[in-house]
Structure 1
Amino acid sequence: MVTFNEIIEIIVVSMRDAFLAVTVFVAAMVLLFSWLQYITAGRFVDTIRSNTRWQPIIGALMGITPGCGGAIVMMPMYARGYVTYGTVIATLISTLGDAAFVLIGAAVTESSFILPVIAVHLISLFVGVFWGYLVDMLKITPRNPLGKFSPNFRDELELEVLIDGKKQISREVFEDLGREEENGWRYILLHKGYTIWWIITTLGLIFAIMLLFWSAQDANFVLEIDYNPLTLHGFITWIGLIGTSLSIILYISQRNWIGDDTEASIGDKLYSMRETLIHSASETAFVTFWVMSAYLIFEFSMLFSDLDQTELASYGDGVIAVIIASLIGLIPGCGPQIIAITAYTKDIISFPALVANAISQDGDALFPLLARHRVASLWATIHTTIPALIVGVGLMLFDVSF
């Protein structure tokens, strides 16, 4: 019989661990990559526009950067005819969206995840580049989904590349991204509350690093549940609870529930360092909410089903798991993908299933493509799911795992 105390304990531990084991490390990485995008964005647009031959490679490299920002920037460029459809596919295949931060965070806290993290990123990058060039070589486009084999085939691959007027080109792309409306309680809550969130997160990062050090010093060290803030374990527990609670508040302040990055938020980040801080907090809060949700789903599944983690993991292996992981990737937004990736960090799904989801998912980048080119967004999901199934099943057949 499940008791009330068991339920409360699961909720408290999930909130605490989501913040101390994931959020604080994700926040540092999100801020780093957001800052890099902020200082390099203009040069990137000019470079990719003037190097058509290398576009799938550049697109894949942009996609492989953690988060959805790099992939989202590519969508208005495709809508303007600056990049090929193969470049879009390469970008979408290689991106892991915000789910990448969950994997990287797991690698920071547990070294056994370092190799899988590197492997899944390299596989996604290679498949993205290969599939992107293949799409362009076969002249596959949304209007010619079968490429040269399409009925009434029409070659639409050639792009007009202008090297002159680079500053104007960059400005046009960024203007396409839009800006957030500076009104409403959601906007005020996010833009006023981010400072408090960063203070708690910085404090949490310090204690998270200390926890790693204590665990390395003593293999039997366990962070106990303690509600007394005057004790060390109690203080750390409350840092985790407050941090997750603030993250939930910031998550609620967003206009999107399954995707956090929008064209407007990316546009704001590329223009202002303050907005970079604000939306880095928002993006991390989004990851926190979905990681905590994943923790709760897994823990309550085991609690109410009387299954242990090993038994639950038995359902995450095999070809069915690969297919399901690929189909989850069809869902727009990073939220469902974070749950799938978290399942791997909990040893619930296999490495082939992880790779299948990583290749299939498009993160938040599908939303701007959907708004500008519905047909392209539909075919893009199909064109990225095909290699996901092929690679996932291939890895399973060759028993590749970490």
Structure 2
Amino acid sequence: MIGLQEAIDIFVFSVRDGFVQVSAFVAITVLLFSYIQYRTGGRIVSYLESHERMQPIAGALLGLTPGCGGAIIAMPLYIRGTVSFGTVVAALAATAGDSAFVILALAPKAAAYAYAMAFVAAILFGYAIDIWGLGVGRVDRAVNRISRPMTDGGFTTTNVADGGPSIPNYEMDQSCHDHGHGTGDDSGLLTTISHGVHVLWWGVAVAGLVAGVLYLVRGAPEVPLEFAPTFFGLFTIAGLVGTTASFYLHFVGRRFIGEGEAGRIRDDFTSAYETFQHAAMETSMVTVWVIAAYLIYEYSIVIFSIDIGAIAAAAGVLAPIGGALLGLIPGCAPQIVFAQVYAQGGIPFSALTANAISQDGDALFPLMAIDMKAAIVATIYTTIPALIVGIVLYAVWPYARFGFGVIG
């Protein structure tokens, strides 16, 4: 039984940690891509549209960037029909989420091996899906029976069965949304407030990024709740204020600034400010999902007394399978714990690699928000190469099974 104080502590720490450990890093990646879009006049998206054979490679490269920001960028490209379903799977399979920062800091050699394997597996499997389908149609139809109540009816995956992109009526959908103009007598005031929160959000995001980098440099220590001019104070204040501002921008601010929606890729931006605004809105949406995932994970761990480390250590030959299945859980929280267990020598390298391929990090959240069916199919398909690579690796690379003590 969980007590009231413990429940409150879990809530506060999850709200704080989610922004610093995830959102601040996502913000920089999304901003970088958006700014390149702005400076190049949208030519990156146009290039991907006209070079379909390069798409799975591009998706894997986006996913390979540490954190979830690169893979997150691929989701709205798929939603609007720019890239294929194989590209989505490649991006998700290549990403190691925010657990990548943990392994890069604590076991860089292991990270190089694991993420190189994930990158190759992601490209090969992405192309295989686009060329042969690999039974996506059957999974698509099966998921359709259970996922319909989970979606808002806004989009339908029309041809995932063919290994292609979900192609909604994008122009019509655009016309159905409020494009950032509030209504009512107080719309002017709320527009001003929203712009102010947006500017504050970026200030806090930078502070959160600094705190997040210091957190990793220090070896991902336990961070107490503290309000003082210290590292712990910076971590705490940036996390709490950043999450609060993110929730405001997502649930209120988007109606008065920006385009009134998230999960969409822009062809171009009219100004640098609009570029920053778009990145903030996208990251705020991800933050909402991240916090929800953190809370579900943390409360589940306490209520059901789950010890990922103990389970992983006792798994033996099943460790790669467990690592792959753990990757089915959206978000980075359980994957970060798994990476820390590896760094302590608790699981074999094959399990780490399987988890790196299978996990989708926070990149799955934008797709879940718009097209739940496609998200479920995609996360199922990233688990397949994870199981194959993990089991084969465990069988043919015996010394790798000893984990951090050997690889690190």
Give the TM bin, normalised by the shorter chain: 0.5 to 0.7
Asked if 1:202 is matched to 2:206, the reply is yes
After superposition, the Cα gap between the structure-2 partners of 1:295 and 1:230, relative to the gap in structure 1 and judged at 3 Å, is same
- How far apart are 1:92 and its partner, in Å? 2.2
Could you list the per-position Cα deviations for residues 236-265 of structure 1 after superposition, in whole angstroms to 9, with x for gaps in the alignment?
53443222332333344599xxxxx97763
d(CA) in 2 for partners of 1:11, 1:310: 22
State the match for 1:103 in structure 2. Answer: 99
After superposition, the Cα gap between the structure-2 partners of 1:300 and 1:276, relative to the gap in structure 1 and judged at 3 Å, is same
Contact map agreement 2:312 2:322 (CA 8 A) in 1 = no
After superposition, the Cα gap between the structure-2 partners of 1:269 and 1:196, relative to the gap in structure 1 and judged at 3 Å, is farther
d(CA) in 2 for partners of 1:378, 1:285: 22
d(CA) in 2 for partners of 1:305, 1:383: 28
TM-score, normalised to structure 2, is: 0.61
State the match for 1:35 in structure 2. Answer: 35
Q: Secondary structure at the match of 1:266?
A: coil
Contact map agreement 2:117 2:353 (CA 8 A) in 1 = no
Could you list the per-position Cα deviations for residues 99-124 of structure 1 after superposition, in whole angstroms to 9, with x for gaps in the alignment?
755235546xx711645555554333
Amino acid of the structure 2 residue aligned with 1:351: L
d(CA) in 2 for partners of 1:307, 1:36: 43
Asked if 1:14 is matched to 2:14, the reply is yes
- How far apart are 1:267 and its partner, in Å? 1.9
Amino acid of the structure 1 residue aligned with 2:358: N
State the match for 2:359 in structure 1. Answer: 358
Name stretches of at least 5 consecutive residues in structure 2 with no aligned partner: 140-161, 163-168, 255-259
State the match for 1:387 in structure 2. Answer: 385
State the match for 2:91 in structure 1. Answer: 94
Contact map agreement 1:59 1:74 (CA 8 A) in 2 = no
Contact map agreement 1:92 1:362 (CA 8 A) in 2 = no
Considering only CA atoms, is the larger Rg found in Structure 1 or Structure 2?
Answer: 1
Amino acid of the structure 2 residue aligned with 1:131: F
After superposition, the Cα gap between the structure-2 partners of 1:131 and 1:270, relative to the gap in structure 1 and judged at 3 Å, is farther
State the match for 1:125 in structure 2. Answer: 119
After superposition, the Cα gap between the structure-2 partners of 1:385 and 1:4, relative to the gap in structure 1 and judged at 3 Å, is closer
Amino acid of the structure 1 residue aligned with 2:43: R
State the match for 1:167 in structure 2. Answer: none
d(CA) in 1 for partners of 2:41, 2:250: 26
Could you list the per-position Cα deviations for residues 370-390 of structure 1 after superposition, in whole angstroms to 9, with x for gaps in the alignment?
59xx8x988766655533432
Give aligned-pair identity as a percent.
Answer: 29
d(CA) in 2 for partners of 1:36, 1:342: 30
State the match for 2:73 in structure 1. Answer: 69
Aligned Cα root-mean-square deviation (Å): 5.1
Asked if 1:57 is matched to 2:51, the reply is no
After superposition, the Cα gap between the structure-2 partners of 1:202 and 1:396, relative to the gap in structure 1 and judged at 3 Å, is same
Contact map agreement 2:96 2:356 (CA 8 A) in 1 = no
State the match for 1:275 in structure 2. Answer: 274
- How far apart are 1:223 and its partner, in Å? 5.1
- How far apart are 1:198 and its partner, in Å? 1.5
d(CA) in 1 for partners of 2:62, 2:279: 18
Could you list the per-position Cα deviations for residues 79-110 of structure 1 after superposition, in whole angstroms to 9, with x for gaps in the alignment?
xxxx7xxx54144223369x755235546xx7
Contact map agreement 1:178 1:264 (CA 8 A) in 2 = no
After superposition, the Cα gap between the structure-2 partners of 1:92 and 1:194, relative to the gap in structure 1 and judged at 3 Å, is same
Contact map agreement 1:315 1:321 (CA 8 A) in 2 = no
Q: Describe how 1:333-344 pairs up with structure 2 within 5 A.
A: 336-344=330-338
After superposition, the Cα gap between the structure-2 partners of 1:16 and 1:44, relative to the gap in structure 1 and judged at 3 Å, is closer
Q: Describe how 1:135-284 pairs up with structure 2 within 5 A.
A: 135=129, 138=132, 178=174, 181=178, 182-183=180-181, 193-207=197-211, 215=218, 224-226=224-226, 237-253=236-252, 265-267=264-266, 272-284=271-283
Could you list the per-position Cα deviations for residues 322-362 of structure 1 after superposition, in whole angstroms to 9, with x for gaps in the alignment?
4534654xxxxxxx244453443453994144234237997
Contact map agreement 1:26 1:284 (CA 8 A) in 2 = yes
Contact map agreement 1:247 1:289 (CA 8 A) in 2 = yes
State the match for 1:149 in structure 2. Answer: none
- How far apart are 1:127 and its partner, in Å? 1.9
d(CA) in 2 for partners of 1:19, 1:212: 14
State the match for 1:24 in structure 2. Answer: 24
Q: Secondary structure at the match of 1:318?
A: helix
Amino acid of the structure 2 residue aligned with 1:203: A
- How far apart are 1:230 and its partner, in Å? 7.6
Amino acid of the structure 1 residue aligned with 2:90: I
State the match for 1:152 in structure 2. Answer: none
Amino acid of the structure 2 residue aligned with 1:386: I
State the match for 2:158 in structure 1. Answer: none
d(CA) in 2 for partners of 1:18, 1:101: 13
d(CA) in 2 for partners of 1:315, 1:254: 48
Name stretches of at least 5 consecutive residues in structure 1 with no aligned partner: 146-156, 158-172, 256-260, 329-335
d(CA) in 2 for partners of 1:206, 1:368: 29
d(CA) in 2 for partners of 1:106, 1:29: 18
d(CA) in 2 for partners of 1:121, 1:361: 17
After superposition, the Cα gap between the structure-2 partners of 1:281 and 1:104, relative to the gap in structure 1 and judged at 3 Å, is farther
